[in-house]
Amino acid sequence: MTSLPSMIGGLEPQAAFNENLHARAGALRDEVFGQKVFVRGVVEVSNFCRENCSYCGMRRDNRSLDRYRLTLDSLRTLIQEGIPGIVTDLNIQTGEDIVGIREIVLPLIEYLRQETDLGISVCLGTLEPKIYDELKQAGASYYIIKMETGNPRHYREIQAPGTFEERLEAIHYLARTGWAVSSGFILGLPGQTREQIDETLDLMSELPLAGSSVSPFIAGEQTPLSGNPAGDLETTLDCIARMRLRNPSYIIPAVSALNLVGNNGYVRALKAGANLATINLTPSSNRADYVLYKRDRFIMHEARVKKAVEEAGCTTSSQSISKTWADFQNGNGQP
The contact set with ligand SF4 (CB under 6 A) reads: 49, 51, 53, 56, 58-59, 95-96, 125, 161
Contact (CB, 8 A) for 301 and 280: yes
For the residues of 77-120, what is the DSSP string, one character each? Answer: HHHHT---TT--EEEEEESS-HHHIIIIIHHHHHHHHHH---EE
Shortest CB 332 distance to ligand SF4, Å: 35
Shortest CB 291 distance to ligand SF4, Å: 9
Shortest CB 169 distance to ligand SF4, Å: 16
Kindly tell me which of 46 and 275 has the beta carbon lying closer to ligand SF4: 46
Kindly tell me which of 135 and 241 has the beta carbon lying closer to ligand SF4: 135
294 Cβ contact list (under 8 Å, min separation 6): 57, 218, 219, 220, 221
CA distance 186 to 236: 9
Kindly tell me which of 51 and 310 has the beta carbon lying closer to ligand SF4: 51
Kindly tell me which of 125 and 211 has the beta carbon lying closer to ligand SF4: 125
Kindly tell me which of 37 and 144 has the beta carbon lying closer to ligand SF4: 144
Shortest CB 86 distance to ligand SF4, Å: 27
DSSP state of 257: G
Kindly tell me which of 58 and 201 has the beta carbon lying closer to ligand SF4: 58
Kindly tell me which of 116 and 226 has the beta carbon lying closer to ligand SF4: 226
Kindly tell me which of 33 and 55 has the beta carbon lying closer to ligand SF4: 55
Shortest CB 56 distance to ligand SF4, Å: 3
CA distance 228 to 71: 36
For the residues of 34-88, what is the DSSP string, one character each? Answer: TTEEEEEEEEEEE---S---TT-TTSTT-TTSPP-B--HHHHHHHHHT---TT--
Shortest CB 294 distance to ligand SF4, Å: 13
Element (H, E) at 187: strand 180-187
Shortest CB 53 distance to ligand SF4, Å: 3
Pick from 84, 107, 106, 102: which is nearest to 278 by CA? 84
Kindly tell me which of 84 and 162 has the beta carbon lying closer to ligand SF4: 162
Shortest CB 268 distance to ligand SF4, Å: 25
Cα–Cα distances in angstroms (integers) from residue 3 to residues 33, 174, 187, 192, in the given order: 40, 37, 18, 10
DSSP state of 14: P
Q: Tell me the one-letter amino acid at 170.
A: A
77 Cβ contact list (under 8 Å, min separation 6): none
Contact (CB, 8 A) for 208 and 177: no
